[in-house]
Amino acid sequence: MRMSPLLADHGISGELFDSFQSTTTMKQQSFLFVCAAAFCAAFLAAGNASAADTMPLKGAHKAMNLPCEACHGNIKPREVPEESACMTCHQSRDAVKAKTAKLKPNPHYGHDETVECTACHKEHQESVLICDECHQWGYKTP
Protein backbone atom coordinates (compact mmCIF):
# COMPACT_ATOMS: atom_id res chain seq x y z
CA MET A 1 0.00 0.00 0.00
CA ARG A 2 1.39 3.38 -1.01
CA MET A 3 0.80 6.62 0.85
CA SER A 4 0.99 10.27 -0.07
CA PRO A 5 3.63 12.13 1.92
CA LEU A 6 1.11 15.00 2.31
CA LEU A 7 -1.80 12.85 3.37
CA ALA A 8 0.02 10.12 5.30
CA ASP A 9 0.56 12.52 8.18
CA HIS A 10 -3.21 12.64 8.52
CA GLY A 11 -3.77 8.90 8.18
CA ILE A 12 -5.15 9.06 4.63
CA SER A 13 -4.02 6.03 2.66
CA GLY A 14 -5.26 2.69 1.42
CA GLU A 15 -7.38 1.59 -1.54
CA LEU A 16 -8.90 4.99 -2.23
CA PHE A 17 -5.46 6.56 -2.47
CA ASP A 18 -4.14 3.66 -4.58
CA SER A 19 -7.06 3.90 -7.05
CA PHE A 20 -6.56 7.66 -7.28
CA GLN A 21 -2.90 7.15 -8.13
CA SER A 22 -3.62 4.55 -10.82
CA THR A 23 -6.24 6.66 -12.65
CA THR A 24 -4.50 10.04 -12.76
CA THR A 25 -1.28 11.33 -14.21
CA MET A 26 1.54 12.58 -12.02
CA LYS A 27 0.88 16.14 -13.22
CA GLN A 28 -2.82 15.87 -12.28
CA GLN A 29 -1.95 14.35 -8.92
CA SER A 30 0.54 17.08 -8.15
CA PHE A 31 -1.94 19.79 -9.06
CA LEU A 32 -4.73 18.19 -7.01
CA PHE A 33 -2.47 17.59 -4.00
CA VAL A 34 -1.26 21.18 -4.08
CA CYS A 35 -4.85 22.45 -4.32
CA ALA A 36 -6.01 20.14 -1.52
CA ALA A 37 -3.08 21.14 0.68
CA ALA A 38 -3.71 24.84 0.01
CA PHE A 39 -7.41 24.44 0.74
CA CYS A 40 -6.70 22.55 3.99
CA ALA A 41 -4.12 25.11 5.09
CA ALA A 42 -6.46 28.01 4.31
CA PHE A 43 -9.36 26.28 6.09
CA LEU A 44 -7.28 25.54 9.18
CA ALA A 45 -5.77 29.02 9.26
CA ALA A 46 -9.18 30.64 8.88
CA GLY A 47 -10.62 28.40 11.59
CA ASN A 48 -7.84 29.19 14.03
CA ALA A 49 -7.63 32.88 13.24
CA SER A 50 -11.35 33.49 13.44
CA ALA A 51 -12.30 31.29 16.40
CA ALA A 52 -11.95 34.18 18.85
CA ASP A 53 -13.74 36.51 16.42
CA THR A 54 -16.67 34.17 15.87
CA MET A 55 -16.94 33.22 19.53
CA PRO A 56 -17.09 36.58 21.30
CA LEU A 57 -17.07 36.84 25.07
CA LYS A 58 -19.70 38.58 27.16
CA GLY A 59 -20.07 40.05 30.63
CA ALA A 60 -17.21 39.80 33.09
CA HIS A 61 -15.20 37.48 30.84
CA LYS A 62 -15.32 40.12 28.09
CA ALA A 63 -14.42 42.92 30.52
CA MET A 64 -11.36 40.93 31.63
CA ASN A 65 -10.50 40.10 27.99
CA LEU A 66 -9.91 36.46 28.89
CA PRO A 67 -8.03 34.39 26.29
CA CYS A 68 -9.68 31.18 25.06
CA GLU A 69 -7.17 29.10 27.03
CA ALA A 70 -8.37 30.57 30.35
CA CYS A 71 -11.50 28.41 30.13
CA HIS A 72 -10.76 25.90 27.40
CA GLY A 73 -7.18 25.09 28.43
CA ASN A 74 -5.59 22.96 25.76
CA ILE A 75 -8.78 21.18 24.67
CA LYS A 76 -10.41 21.96 21.35
CA PRO A 77 -11.81 25.50 21.48
CA ARG A 78 -15.28 24.43 20.37
CA GLU A 79 -15.63 21.89 23.18
CA VAL A 80 -17.43 22.92 26.36
CA PRO A 81 -14.96 23.37 29.22
CA GLU A 82 -15.21 21.13 32.26
CA GLU A 83 -16.59 22.60 35.48
CA SER A 84 -13.10 22.57 37.00
CA ALA A 85 -12.23 25.35 34.51
CA CYS A 86 -15.04 27.49 35.96
CA MET A 87 -13.85 26.81 39.50
CA THR A 88 -10.38 28.10 38.67
CA CYS A 89 -11.83 31.60 39.10
CA HIS A 90 -15.20 30.99 40.76
CA GLN A 91 -13.57 28.84 43.49
CA SER A 92 -16.34 26.39 44.43
CA ARG A 93 -20.05 25.71 44.19
CA ASP A 94 -20.41 27.00 47.77
CA ALA A 95 -18.67 30.25 46.80
CA VAL A 96 -21.07 30.67 43.86
CA LYS A 97 -24.05 29.97 46.14
CA ALA A 98 -22.79 32.63 48.56
CA LYS A 99 -22.38 35.15 45.75
CA THR A 100 -26.01 34.66 44.67
CA ALA A 101 -27.41 34.35 48.22
CA LYS A 102 -29.57 37.48 47.86
CA LEU A 103 -31.59 35.85 45.07
CA LYS A 104 -34.78 34.29 46.43
CA PRO A 105 -34.88 31.49 45.48
CA ASN A 106 -31.18 31.02 44.87
CA PRO A 107 -30.80 29.15 41.56
CA HIS A 108 -27.54 27.58 42.72
CA TYR A 109 -29.42 25.60 45.37
CA GLY A 110 -31.44 23.05 43.51
CA HIS A 111 -33.02 19.66 43.41
CA ASP A 112 -30.01 18.32 41.57
CA GLU A 113 -26.73 19.95 42.43
CA THR A 114 -24.84 17.84 39.91
CA VAL A 115 -25.97 20.10 37.06
CA GLU A 116 -22.89 21.50 35.30
CA CYS A 117 -22.36 25.28 35.23
CA THR A 118 -22.56 25.22 31.44
CA ALA A 119 -26.11 23.83 31.51
CA CYS A 120 -27.22 27.44 32.18
CA HIS A 121 -24.17 29.62 31.58
CA LYS A 122 -23.34 29.82 27.86
CA GLU A 123 -20.40 32.10 27.26
CA HIS A 124 -20.63 32.25 23.48
CA GLN A 125 -24.41 32.25 23.11
CA GLU A 126 -27.43 33.31 25.11
CA SER A 127 -27.49 31.72 28.56
CA VAL A 128 -30.56 29.92 29.87
CA LEU A 129 -32.05 29.17 33.26
CA ILE A 130 -32.93 25.50 33.26
CA CYS A 131 -34.95 26.06 36.47
CA ASP A 132 -37.48 27.89 34.26
CA GLU A 133 -38.31 24.60 32.55
CA CYS A 134 -40.53 23.92 35.59
CA HIS A 135 -40.47 27.17 37.61
CA GLN A 136 -41.14 30.70 36.40
CA TRP A 137 -38.37 32.63 38.13
CA GLY A 138 -37.47 34.67 35.08
CA TYR A 139 -33.92 35.44 36.19
CA LYS A 140 -31.53 36.74 33.53
CA THR A 141 -28.65 34.26 33.53
CA PRO A 142 -25.22 35.82 32.81
Classify residue 130 by its DSSP letter.
Answer: G
Are residues 128 and 141 in contact, defined by beta-carbon separation less than 8 angstroms?
A: yes
- pLDDT, tens digit, for every residue of 89-103? 999 999 999 999 999
pLDDT tier for residue 16 given thresholds of 50, 70 and 90: very low
Task: Quote the pTM value.
Answer: 0.58
- pLDDT, tens digit, for every residue of 90-139? 999 999 999 999 999 999 988 778 888 999 999 888 999 999 999 998 88
